[in-house]
Chains A and B, each alone.
Chain A
């Protein structure tokens, strides 16, 4: 049971998803607050806003994928080197 929990927590999709959601939120917020000087530097592109939303979307997709297709016991995804145990 402990291993199953660990395998779930340890899935790489959760790590990528978590990091990108956090980055997405931070960068999107910066993007909303960007003033004229930032916009001028970025050639008028609201780059923080767009990259922030993009990273947020990637992060959420990773988490969604994890939810729709969680690591299974019989055919373990990352981690869980032990074959099925009777628990």
Chain B
């Protein structure tokens, strides 16, 4: 067999077609339920926690994540687990326990809106505009990656794939807004897992179970180092080339807290929950599946490493990025193959739908309603949201071709995150815990933090400053942005007026906000306690590390 082309049959196409029909059906059903802009953008704040929790994790489970993490598994071995257990779970728990009361309690409709209340309009506009641009760029990346996969696996034309993917996402979001996006994300979660599970099962049978896999990895190019997560992180002599300081502070703190706690495409899922308790549980419920997702990403990566001859070529069909597609080709018979292709397509659409629904909300509420056309009736803003969705996707198709110009799209994404999320997280965390921080300090923190990271990124691209890898650059970029934003806040605040106490109610730690009335009696049972659930998630993450220390 040559190339990546899969041997897809009629059944596989049938399974894919049924999925498309279901997704569009959800869009139509959701359309009939939409009567206000809150329905369109926030699902009427009516979602139960398990739905928003799975949507929360699904919005992140784009195919870039799946394909990328399997690639990292093959390249770096078990150290890839850090992305999950220290890189995601603690940040998700922190979002649920510490930050969600401010987000949900202040009744804001978006992350930029929180910045407007806590700081001022320039801060708000800067963040809303940069978020909107970033979302469209990332939607384009997802679209391009989807098209690449469909082209390689099914032999579709690049153009056909881009248009088909875009039209389906467009249809269900224009019709059903965030409800349709969230429902489809929950559906996608199950399909993705059902599609990936057979790869892990058959792959493990092939290599002789987990013991057989580890034995083969030991004898392979990674060797013993590929089977450990923390040993040899005193220095940088390990597959990831990172010390424990870099892992804990760079990946675990700045990068992942920045991503999970301030990325509106994620936070929006929790804002649509039906009450405060459900909103706080949303990211924490998402943390539990996140603990186990490596079983269908990192493990297949290792299986590909030991079963696919010549994996790790710098270009062609045998790059690390193709670990999952190669295993699909080699191991899956028709039937489960169709489910796996559907899962992969679904996960691209999940990622793109998250970007697009984040974009249309911020564009409509934060840019159009705040600065362009105030005080129109609600139906007007639903229409604006639908137009913004169409425009966002059309521009996304354009940016898909920009993404085509980058040879490593995962690094492009990482670079975008370190530019936007790290200064935002720093501004948030200082603003939430230090009530004296002034409105203008918020603006300058955000702007200078962004510029600092941007300057370092340019220096990296032009090789003025040398880094060992793009990964190392994104860590330093995020770190620099974070420190710059904090220092700027500390320097500017004393020279500018602070906000009055009554303006900060519910926005700053210790200024009220969480009213007891938010907790329904049924939610006081112990297994719905966000703090307890969060602690359990973190303890599990630590426990999972023990066998692969």
Contact = CB atoms under 8 A, between A and B. Distances in A.
B177 to A, nearest CB: 12
B336 A26 contact: no
B190 A22 contact: no
- Which interface residue of A9, A34, A38, A42 has the most chain B CB atoms within 10 A? A42
B23 to A, nearest CB: 9
Given A23-B339, A55-B194, A79 B33 contact: yes
B541 interface: no
B187 A76 contact: no
B276 to A, nearest CB: 15
B113 to A, nearest CB: 20
Given A6-B29, A9-B29, A16-B190, A43 B335 contact: no
Given A9-B29, A15-B187, A51 B15 contact: no
Q: Is the interface of B mostly helix, strand, loop or mixed?
A: helix
A19 B194 CA distance: 12
B30 interface: yes
Contacts, number: 113
A51 B336 contact: yes
B335 A31 contact: yes
Interface in B324-347: 330-336, 339
A58 interface: yes
Interface string B161-195: 00000000000000000010001001100110010
A44 to B, nearest CB: 7
Contacts of B186: 12, 16
Interface in A32-67: 34, 38-39, 41-45, 47-48, 51-52, 54-55, 58
B39 interface: yes
B18 A23 contact: yes
Contacts of B51: 12, 78
B156 to A, nearest CB: 22
A81 interface: yes
Given A27-B339, A43-B206, A77 B333 contact: no
A48 B335 contact: yes
B32 A6 contact: yes
Contacts of B461: none
Contacts of B205: 43-45
Nearest to B333: A38
B18 A77 contact: no
Interface stretch (B41-49, B245-253, B403-411): B41-49
A42 B333 contact: yes
Interface in B216-234: none
Nearest to A28: B335
A23 B333 CA distance: 15
B19 interface: yes
A10 B34 CA distance: 12
B544 interface: no
Nearest to B48: A77
Nearest to B204: A43
Contact of A34 (B26, B30, B33, B333): B333
Given A12-B51, A78-B48, A26 B183 contact: no
B108 interface: no
Given A16-B187, A81-B39, A47 B32 contact: no
Contacts of B201: 45, 47
A12 B179 CA distance: 10
A52 B155 CA distance: 27
A37 B473 CA distance: 48
A31 B333 CA distance: 10
B202 A30 contact: no
Contacts of A45: 201-202, 205
Contacts of A18: 22
Contacts of A16: 186-187, 190
B29 A19 contact: no
11 contacts: A6-B29, A7-B33, A19-B19, A19-B187, A22-B18, A23-B339, A41-B332, A42-B198, A43-B205, A47-B202, A78-B51
Interface of A: 3, 6-7, 9-10, 12, 15-16, 18-20, 22-23, 26-27, 30-31, 34, 38-39, 41-45, 47-48, 51-52, 54-55, 58, 75-81
Given A19-B22, A81-B35, 15 more contacts: A12-B51, A20-B194, A23-B15, A23-B18, A41-B332, A42-B198, A43-B205, A45-B202, A47-B333, A58-B194, A76-B46, A78-B51, A79-B44, A80-B46, A81-B36
Pairs A-B, 6 closest by C-beta atoms: A81-B44, A30-B335, A38-B333, A48-B335, A43-B205, A43-B206
